Chain A
Amino acid sequence: MRLFGAGVRALLVLTLVCGVLYPLLITGIAQGLFHNKANGSEIKDGGKVVGSSLIGQTYNLPLKNGEETPAPDLKWFQPRPSNGLGTNSVNTQYSLILSGATNRSGDNADLIKWVTEAKAAVVKDNSTADFKVKPSDVPADAVTSSGSGLDPQISPEYAELQVHRVAALNKLDAQQVEKLVADNTDGRILGFIGEPRVNVLKLNIALKALIAH
């Protein structure tokens, strides 16, 4: 019992050090040196916050009667699927986004169906009068859900695939949209770390500016 008391006292004093002083120190430094990043890397467009450069969003049409899920607004670049994303089931005073993956295995019937349907949709949506998408052109990230369900990025190949559709629907020159994608493509950091990617929110903000222009 005496020993248990020592255990409790040790825990309390270490809680003060590791659970109060340490996080406060880090928060102080973070808020001082990296204010925007520490608060979620929010991006503004036209003076209004339109999201975070790190958190994916959907670019959908308003939900129509009789639809379960809203249709994508094909005017805009589309992100990856997010079949694993959830909504909160407890503490329902909030409507939080619940990050998550589908956790389906490679031989799972749901996943096979999702991937097949997504592939067909990508081929159909992105084929225009003078640009035909082949199923083999569709990159894997376009038809699979990410781990967080909040992936803010797509591969440059998937962005490239969407150029003709986006140009046609916005009555823009495909070359202009192509350049937009190129400008918003980030290569591997230092040439080898991570993967090349395109931030969908930044790309759509740039697209919006191009349309307005």
Chain B
Amino acid sequence: MSPVLAGVLQMLALIAALALAYRPLGDFMAGVYSSDKHLRVEKWIYKAIGANPSTEMRWPAYLRGVLAFSAASVLFLYVMQRIQGSLPGSLGFSAIDPDQAFNTAASFVSNTNWQSYYGEQAMGHVVQTGGLAVQNFVSAAVGLAVAVALVRGFARSRTGELGNFWADLVRGTVRILIPIAVIGAIVLVACGAIQNFSGIHGVGQFMGGSQQWNGGAVASQEAIKELGTNGGGYFNANSAHPFENPNGISNLFEIFLILVIPFALTRTFGKMVGSVKQGYAILATMVTIWIGFTALMMWTEFHHGGPAFNIAGGAMEGKETRFGVGGSSIFAVATTLTSTGAVNSFHSSFTGFGGGITMLGMQLGEIAPGGVGSGLYGMLIMAIIAVFIAGLMVGRTPEYLGKKIGTREIKFAACYILITPALALCFTAAAMALPTPMTSMTNSGAHGFSEILYAYTSGANNNGSAFAGLNADTQWFNTTIGLAMLLGRFLPMVFVLALAGSLAEQKPVPATAGTLGTHKPLFTGLLVGTIIIVTGLTYFPALALGPLAEGLGS
């Protein structure tokens, strides 16, 4: 069997597995967020928090909950890293410097998992397992909560109430993320991922002497790292490290974990707004982009343009033998079309166009299918923009799911789609204009520019992957990427929740003959077009200077 055919078959297997999980998981999640029952363990947690889970919150209260919890998380994670040297069980690793500790705290709380540190030499068991892995759960649960709040905004009328943040946070963690992560972690150990608490120890070698390894709770972190679309590796090589991703099965399974919740959330959305067809239209948009990007990626990576790859006879630099070009291409697209940023192969050594595809995937706003929660709300914002554009064409007040898209709503949506590009492009421009940031580049020319563009695109979009030649452990990059991650996560959430509040207050408008059918293929086509045009207009000049220049030159 040719590697291309094997790659295609792996993609088909992945589609089949995701299709099987779609309905049960989507319906289950809709049930979780609609139920008025509380599990016993949840009641204990609410008691500890001191919150009444049945209190309905309007959008400002919901937002304050998100911000209070996230601020507490940033502070906790920062302090934890700063006192690492005195924590027991830290393998004797010392405290993390202030700028890097800020960067890492911002990174994990914002669901980005950008890493300017080397996992195996910087972070001990306590910080990895008790700090970073915890954020892998709760930052994903926060994303889910905000998405559900927006869906309730569409589903509810004549009320400003969006649910209870604490209840949504706890339910997402306890009922959705933990059970799937437990199964996921066990599957990964069965494949060969490690799970122990042994410290750094020497292991004998074939030629004599020994190699020193770091033990750790790797499988448990790996499962939630993918499931929560986080992406922060236990080891520096991330999911390319054999202890994180031991074979072809674990590789396909990790990609499945990345995609399963974001895709199934479209079903949850459909259920909650009372029309699963609306969910299918959103799903179809996501799937179209995802399959298109994967096909393009496979084409360019198997084609292996670029002087070094031509000499080598294949684009295997930065790729593992057990995954090959096919398994690496599928992973790279899944990780950049979601907010994951885990890597099983190094994007900086992809072909010029391949690197461009990973960047473009993030620049679409990570909505196909996007991060856990953030993918759905990002896509719904684009749907509002698409409905608005369609409304302009026929001269009607646009409406979506029975809600009028008026001035207020479109302003919130427009602010949402402007924030991330503004952060990514302004910081990139600043870094290029200043003399010192550029000394961090490993590559020169177009690819050097790409390293910096990638870094801020990844930070502002909360992805976390990198063109990792860039030495990002400098005060400049730690601080600016840290800011890009926090602003790129929480400012959009402000607009999403404000929009949700505004929608929930409206009374529904009945559908008429002139209403655009947002559950039909026509709308899916319109939405795909809108996404590509909006992103293209925003990022084309920057992409032309980086990956396009490199790709066309090879």
In the complex, what distance in Å separates the CA atom of A144 from the CA atom of B345? 13
Question: A111 to B68, alpha carbons, bound, how many Å?
Answer: 47
Within 8 A of A (CB), among B163-194: 166, 169-170, 173-174, 178, 181-182, 185-186, 189-194
The answer to whether the Cβ of B391 comes within 8 Å of any Cβ in the partner chain is no
- Chain B nearest Cβ from A159, distance in angstroms: 11
Is B407 engaged at the interface, CB distance under 8 Å to the other chain?
Answer: no
A108 to B: closest C-beta gap in Å: 5
Contacts of B70 in A (CB 8 A): 7
| Residue A189 interfacial (CB < 8 Å) | yes
Which residues of chain B are near A50, meaning CB under 8 Å? 204-206
Q: Which residue of A lies closest to B8 (CB)?
A: A192
Counting contact residues on chain A (CB < 8 A from B), the size range is 35 or more
Decide yes or no whether B362 CB sits under 8 A from chain A.
no
A30 touches B186 (CB 8 A): yes
Check B312 against A144 for contact (C-beta < 8 Å). Answer: yes
CB of B317 within 8 Å of the partner chain: yes
Whether A140 lies near B51 (C-beta < 8 A) is: no
Of B10, B173, B213, B554, most buried by chain A (CB within 10 Å of CB) is B213
Known: A96-B212, A103-B349. A26 touches B237 (CB 8 A): no
B356 vs chain A, min Cβ distance (A): 12
Q: Mark A68-91, 1 if CB is under 8 A from B, else 0.
A: 000001001000100010101111
What's the interface size class on B, roughly? 35 or more
Residue in B51, B308, B442 with the greatest tally of chain A CB atoms within 10 Å = B308
Please tell me if the beta carbons of A59 and B207 are within 8 angstroms of each other in the complex: yes
Contacting chain A: which of B239-247, B282-290, B419-427, B533-541? B239-247
Tell me which of B45, B194, B314, B319 contacts A147 (CB under 8 A). B319
Report B309 CB to chain A, min CB distance, Å.
5
Given contacts A88-B121, A140-B312, contact A150 B237 (CB under 8 A): yes
How many angstroms between the C-alpha atoms of A54 and B318 in the bound complex?
17
Q: Looking at A8, A29, A146, A201, which has the most chain B CB atoms within 10 Å of its CB?
A: A146
- Contact segment of A13-21, A160-168, A171-179: A13-21
Q: Does B321 make an interface contact (CB < 8 A)?
A: yes
- List the A residue with the shortest CB-CB distance to B131: A19
CB distance from A194 to the nearest CB of B (A): 2
> Bound complex: CA of A55 vs CA of B201, how far in Å?
14
> Which of B68, B121, B447 is the one whose CB lies under 8 Å from A96?
B121
In the complex, whether A211 has a CB less than 8 A from a CB of chain B is no
Residue of A nearest to B45 (CB): A13
Contacts A88-B118, A146-B240 given; does A30 touch B189 at CB 8 Å: yes
A52 located at the interface, meaning its Cβ lies under 8 Å from any Cβ of chain B in the complex: yes
Is A10's CB under 8 angstroms from B169's CB? yes
Q: Which of B332-377 contact A (CB under 8 A)?
A: 343-346, 348-349, 351-352, 355
Decide: A19 near B130, CB < 8 A? Known: A101-B318, A204-B206. Answer: yes
Q: How far is the CA of A19 from the CA of B169 in the complex (A)?
A: 16
CB contact between B324 and one of A4, A14, A94, A194 (< 8 Å): that residue: A194
Mark A31-61 against chain B: 1 for CB-CB distance below 8 A, else 0: 1011001111110010011111011011110
A126 adjacent to chain B (CB < 8 Å): no
Is B160 an interface residue, CB under 8 A from the partner?
no
Residues of chain A within 8 A (CB-CB) of B352 are 105-107
Contacts of A197 in B (CB 8 A): 321-322
> Could you say which residues of chain B place their CB within 8 Å of the CB of A58?
207
Chain A residues within an 8 Å CB radius of B411: none
Provide the residues of chain B in CB contact with A153, threshold 8 Å: 320-322
Complex contacts, A48 vs chain B, CB 8 Å:
204
Tell me if A51 and B203 are in contact (CB < 8 A).
yes
Contact A194 B249 (CB under 8 A): yes
A9-B241 contact given A96-B212, A97-B213, A195-B6, CB 8 Å threshold: no
Task: Give chain B residues whose Cβ lies under 8 Å from the Cβ of A108.
Answer: 308, 443, 447
B476 sits at the interface (CB 8 A): no
Q: Across the interface, do A155 and B321 meet the contact criterion of CB distance under 8 Å?
A: yes
Min CB distance A67 to B, Å, is: 16
Cβ B241 vs Cβ A19 within 8 A: no
Contacts A26-B186, A27-B220, A51-B211 given; indicate if A195 touches B315 (C-beta within 8 A).
no
Known: A105-B348, A115-B312. 13 other contacts (CB 8 A): A3-B65, A14-B173, A23-B220, A26-B189, A27-B195, A37-B191, A49-B203, A73-B207, A86-B236, A97-B212, A105-B550, A116-B311, A147-B240
Pairs across A and B, CB under 8 Å, 26 listed: A4-B71, A8-B72, A11-B69, A14-B134, A17-B174, A22-B178, A25-B182, A26-B217, A27-B197, A54-B243, A55-B243, A58-B207, A76-B207, A97-B213, A98-B120, A98-B121, A103-B346, A106-B308, A106-B550, A107-B445, A112-B308, A146-B316, A148-B237, A155-B321, A192-B6, A193-B13
Residues of A whose CB lies within 8 Å of any CB of B are: 3-15, 17-20, 22-23, 25-27, 29-31, 33-34, 37-42, 45, 48-52, 54-55, 57-60, 73, 76, 80, 84, 86, 88-91, 93-108, 111-112, 114-116, 119, 136, 138-141, 143-155, 188-189, 191-195, 197, 201, 204-205
B residues neighboring A (CB under 8 Å):
1, 3, 5-6, 9-10, 13, 45, 48-51, 64-65, 68-73, 76, 91-94, 118, 120-122, 129-131, 133-134, 136-138, 166, 169-170, 173-174, 178, 181-182, 185-186, 189-198, 200, 203-207, 211-215, 217, 219-221, 224, 235-237, 240-243, 246-249, 251-252, 304-309, 311-324, 326-327, 343-346, 348-349, 351-352, 355, 442-443, 445, 447, 450, 467-469, 550, 553-554
7 closest residue pairs by CB, A with B: A194-B248, A106-B306, A140-B314, A147-B240, A99-B237, A195-B324, A103-B469
